[in-house]
Amino acid sequence: MNCEVTFMPAGITVKVRPGTTLLDAARRAHVPIRTRCGGKAACFMCKVTVEPGSRLLPMGEQERNKLAAGADSCERLSCQARVQGNAVVNVPLDPLRAAVLKKLAQAREDDSLW
């Protein structure tokens, strides 16, 4: 049985087998998730937010230890979180892209004042 994982804000859905990590599912869907450690839970760059109702396997000890305070929230490390059923995942914007979008929004707001 395949599981559907939808990555937001892109709205891209991919079908994967149960047990696939969110990072591998994102790569298969061509959704960029930043990582520096190659998926070894060492860099925290692949942190995503999972929508309530998403079906993932429970956090393993390594992921729980790494997330510490956020272990009870909807934040997960995409390199460690494994799909158990359908899931919706919010991927944060790349920091550079987020900064550019913020500047563009500010410029539009400044232009609208005139």
Q: What is the pLDDT of residues 9-35, one digit of tens each?
A: 999 999 999 999 999 999 999 999 989
Asked if residue 112 has pLDDT above 90, the reply is no
Q: Of 88, 87, 105, 86, which Cα lies nearest the Cα of 97?
A: 105
The 10 Å Cβ neighbour count of residue 99 is 11
Q: DSSP readout, the chain? A: --EEEEEETTTEEEEE-TT-BHHHHHHHTT-----SSSSSSSS-TTEEEE-TT--BPPPPHHHHHHHGGGGGSSEEETTT-BBSS-EEEEPPPPHHHHHHHHHHHHHHHHHHT-
Predicted pLDDT at 107: 83
Q: The whole model's pTM is what?
A: 0.81
